[in-house]
Amino acid sequence: QVTLKESGPVLVKPTETLTLTCTVSGFSLSNARMGVSWIRQPPGKALEWLAHIFSNDEKSYSTSLKSRLTISKDTSKSQVVLTMTNMDPVDTATYYCARINNYYYYMDVWGKGTTVTVSS
């Protein structure tokens, strides 16, 4: 059974750096046909893609947030980590990680998400 689980702080202060971890099971981060993406969803709003990483360590970022994001993986720990710098209240959202199919670029399995609030 494929699962992904997000973890990280519930509350961060403005200007702080957010670090989120996605722990996967049921598949390997070294699988050439798969990758992991981070997606977020502000309350009551649409989904927004943030970043992805593939088995060959290829990375890609949302153009609008590229300067603030870093994605990395630890294959031995089955973890993908996303950092977002200079957090702002508008970054308050539920953050999801999801497995990507490398051929058609869709997210076939999602984590349950973790809610992050940015407030002083």
Partner 1 sequence: SYVLTQPPSVSVAPGQTARITCGGNNIGSKSVHWYQQKPGQAPVLVVYDDSDRPSGIPERFSGSNSGNTATLTISRVEAGDEADYYCQVWDSSSDHPENYVFGTGTKVTVL
Q: In angstroms, what is the minimal distance from the CB of 110 to partner 1?
A: 4
Q: Which string of x and - marks every residue 25-44 that binds partner 1 (by CB under 8 A)?
A: ------------x-x-----
Structure tokens at 52: 């992805």
- Does 63 help bind partner 1 (rule: CB under 8 A)? yes
Contact window for partner 1 (CB under 8 A) among 10-18, 68-76, 77-85, 108-116: 108-116
- Does 101 help bind partner 1 (rule: CB under 8 A)? yes
Distance between CA 67 and CA 1 in Å, rounded? 35
Please select the residue that binds partner 1; options are 21, 60, 70, 92, rule is CB under 8 A. 60
- Give whole-number Cα distances, 42 to 22, 31, 84, 95, in Å: 19, 31, 15, 9
Distance between CA 108 and CA 120 in Å, rounded? 36
Distance between CA 118 and CA 40 in Å, rounded? 14
**Chain contacts with partner 1 (rule: CB under 8 A):** 37, 39, 46-49, 52, 60, 62-64, 96, 98, 101, 104-113
